[in-house]
Structure 1
Amino acid sequence: MRILHVGKYAFPHRGGIETFVRDLAVEQVRSGHEVTVLCHGSAQGGRSGGEVRDGVRTVLARTVATVGFAPLSPSFPRLLHSLVRQGGFDVVHLHLPNPAVLFHRLVPRALPLVVHWHADADTAPGLAPRILYPAYSRFERDCLVRADRIVATSPPYLDSSPALAGFRPKCAVIPLGIDPARYPEPAEIEKPRRPLVVGVGRFTFYKGFELLVHAAKLVSAADFVIAGDGPKYAAALRERDRLGLEDRVLLPGEVPDHELHRLLRHASLLCLPSTNRAEAFGMVLLEGMRYGLPLLTTSIPGSGTDWVNLDGVTGRTAPPAAPEALAEIMREMLGSPEALAAMGIASRRRFDERFAIRFAARELEELYGEVVSRC
């Protein structure tokens, strides 16, 4: 089968959608499919062009600016039009939210279109998203009408998404996944003497890492590493210093994959303290589960994080935006080594049974076959 994925950005850009699309595309190539990914070049570099890596052809449209988290690329519609007219694809797989939704009508009606609903687009704060979303939403709804099938990433997110409410008969739930081969496991792991709590992600409005810094003040028996960068990084760093936590809370910025893997191997637990439903799934949770880490997440109505992390089984959940409660549950987890170890075992088992990328690839292959047979 010839598959065209249409994404927002691509690896090495860091993000949950980018990680998933990369691993899915590689897994699909391993299964014998021919896969192309069309997306925007990184907003930082604005690069354009194309490359083939791990058998996946990636076509990049040059980004000239970003507005309200959206990359702008005058060449994107031209590249999409050229690909769908000349590429001989069997299916187009569009990953949203994505400004590419504006050009979905360039996909011929006879060509099956699968829409992957990673998150609602109206969760971002700021003036630009509030102004732009009403116009964007008209294209978004038109795209959902056009789509042959819609893929949601978890039952809670599907149930809570206003945009998907009128399209339930078209929807299927296929959880995200990652490629375990990218996460090497050493023969032996020597844990630090003191418990180590790790947080990973982009320092943005919904991640809540500043709350994790506050919780760290109340959990004096543990050390903390919060890896990542973004617009809220400087504020978190200032708060860390104001609280006098320089010796126990490390904020190293964005780290390369090998350093991230080292952190996860040495961690006692992974904490994702998100505050907003913009945290639709929590891809980093899968990375922690791959290394058998107990998870500590926040209970956000409508988010998929509570579905990924089963409270009392693979980890614990805490109320959002409540650093005292987060710290209390963290102390309970770290103070019960046997329960913590059992959660870690359950976490790895749940990953192996549900979130390895082969499961998503297999279910999507079946869905592709269904829509292709109808068109």
Structure 2
Amino acid sequence: MRIAMVSDCYLPRLGGIELQVHDLAAQLITAGHQVTVFTTAEGPPAAGDVPVVRLPALAGAPLPSAIERLRDELSSFDVVHSHSSLLSPLAWQAARLARAAIVTLHSLPSASMPWPVAWVDRYVGDVRWTAVSEAVAGVLRRSLPGRSVGVLHNGIEPGPWRQPRRAEHPLTIVSTMRLTRRKRPMALVRTLENIRRLLPSEIPVRAAIIGSGPLAGAVATAVRRRGLTGWVDLPGRLTRYEIQQLYAAADVYLAPAELESFGVAALEARCAGLPVVAMASGGVGEFVRSGVEGYLVDSDVRMAEAAAALLTDTAVLSRIQEHNQHTDPVMTWNKVVTEHLTAYQTARASSIARGERPAQLVGEWLDLESV
């Protein structure tokens, strides 16, 4: 199958969508399919073994020449998979142009700032909507009554995350994120301070906030002003291998984002054997059950209390670590790839049922702009 992946954001910038689009493309290529990524993100013409078409844009908006190239090239693909955040003009345009299209929403809209999903739905036209989690799918279903919304999870290969545990280390809390307001790193700093306050003073503890982003300076300042520099590390952006090694000497993972659409970093930590303490409002609950893989909480105060309780209860901590280390989540790549291929085949069959021939057999594009 010839598959076009379209994402406004992509490698070499690092983030959840960027890495998942790349990894999904690589997995599909390994399975024998032809995949090309289309993006407006700057970078080299390939990322590993994944071919990339980088289109011109101004301030994130694709230029007319980019749209024309999409119009020309998408006709040779069996299906177009557009990966959307809350603002993804290239992905939406590709879905609008495609005959067989799937749009996957990777972000969880905020109730305080409603996302104009009905407008986006009218713009992209007759597409199959999907989401990376049931939490995101629920928002789409409420906003698009009568529309069928499926779930296409992000995927993971658990093996590389299951490094041998290092027995000799102080109790260690970790969190990995892009340091942006949406991920709430400042709240995490306050939570770490509260955890230290809840733990007996004689118990040594350390923490690491992994990642970079626009709030990196503010986070460093907050750590310094709160007197946490002696035990809270800010190593910046690390490679996957470096994160895997750090997790092997860690004990608990914190996910403070309230609008976490899925939580790839939390899933990686869970596969590494770490109990995950996360906000119940997002998608982490699809692979973390309270008391089994970690705990889901409803406030920063509860997060601090749950983490402190884990760090002082050796039996519970060890039980959850052992379970996570040896139990696969449902989002392994072999299952996720199968989910995606089924969705692609359904989208392609639907386009044929509407009277449209497969894209590779069509010589001329329907002029959607005139409809």
TMscore range, shorter length? 0.7 to 0.9
Determine if the alignment matches structure 1 residue 174 to structure 2 residue 152.
yes
Q: 1:22 to 1:167 in 2, by over 3 A?
A: farther
Structure 2 equivalent of residue 142 of structure 1: 122
* Paired residues of 2:6 and 2:39 also in contact (CA < 8 A): yes
Which of 58, 61, 68 in structure 2 is aligned with 1:78?
Answer: 68
Structure 2 equivalent of residue 68 of structure 1: none
| Equivalence map 1:310-329=2 (5 Å) | 310-320=289-299, 322=300, 324-329=301-306
Distance 1:246 1:106 in 2: 50
Determine if the alignment matches structure 1 residue 280 to structure 2 residue 277.
no
Distance 2:185 2:227 in 1: 16
Structure 1 equivalent of residue 89 of structure 2: 99
Structure 1 equivalent of residue 356 of structure 2: none
Distance 2:345 2:82 in 1: 16
Point out the structure with max Rg over C-alpha: 2
Paired amino acid for 2:247: L
Determine if the alignment matches structure 1 residue 338 to structure 2 residue 326.
no
Q: 1:192 to 1:58 in 2, by over 3 A?
A: farther
Structure 2 equivalent of residue 11 of structure 1: 11
Structure 2 equivalent of residue 50 of structure 1: 45
Which of 341, 347, 352 in structure 2 is aligned with 1:365?
Answer: 341
Which of 252, 264, 280 in structure 2 is aligned with 1:269?
Answer: 252
Gaps of 5+ in 2: 197-202, 353-371
Which of 243, 247, 250 in structure 1 is aligned with 2:233?
Answer: 250
4+ runs of 1 displaced by more than 6 Å? 122-125
- Deviation of 1:353 (Å): 4.0
Q: 1:52 to 1:296 in 2, by over 3 A?
A: closer
* Paired residues of 1:119 and 1:280 also in contact (CA < 8 A): yes
* Paired residues of 1:294 and 1:341 also in contact (CA < 8 A): no
Structure 1 equivalent of residue 138 of structure 2: 159
- Deviation of 1:192 (Å): 4.4
Which of 171, 174, 182 in structure 2 is aligned with 1:198?
Answer: 174
Which of 56, 61, 64 in structure 1 is aligned with 2:55?
Answer: 61
Which of 92, 116, 119 in structure 1 is aligned with 2:104?
Answer: 116
Distance 2:10 2:80 in 1: 16
1:67-90 Cα shifts (integer Å, max 9, x gaps):
xxxx233243133122113xx211
Determine if the alignment matches structure 1 residue 89 to structure 2 residue 77.
yes
Determine if the alignment matches structure 1 residue 291 to structure 2 residue 267.
no
Which of 206, 222, 234 in structure 2 is aligned with 1:239?
Answer: 222
Distance 1:139 1:104 in 2: 16
Paired amino acid for 2:3: I
- Deviation of 1:155 (Å): 2.0
1:169-195 Cα shifts (integer Å, max 9, x gaps):
2x21232112346x3644x33244311
Gaps of 5+ in 1: 66-70
- Deviation of 1:101 (Å): 4.3
Distance 2:321 2:89 in 1: 39
Distance 1:161 1:91 in 2: 22
Distance 2:276 2:334 in 1: 23
Which of 210, 214, 217 in structure 2 is aligned with 1:227?
Answer: 210
SS in 2 for 1:172: strand
* Paired residues of 1:180 and 1:356 also in contact (CA < 8 A): yes
Structure 2 equivalent of residue 217 of structure 1: 193
* Paired residues of 1:191 and 1:267 also in contact (CA < 8 A): no
RMSD: 2.5
* Paired residues of 2:27 and 2:333 also in contact (CA < 8 A): yes
* Paired residues of 2:169 and 2:249 also in contact (CA < 8 A): no
Distance 1:233 1:246 in 2: 14
Paired amino acid for 1:53: G
1:344-371 Cα shifts (integer Å, max 9, x gaps):
2333455x24122221111111121222
- Deviation of 1:30 (Å): 1.2
Distance 1:317 1:180 in 2: 22
Q: 1:99 to 1:314 in 2, by over 3 A?
A: same
- Deviation of 1:217 (Å): 2.1
Q: 1:41 to 1:124 in 2, by over 3 A?
A: farther
- Deviation of 1:11 (Å): 2.2
Distance 1:232 1:124 in 2: 22
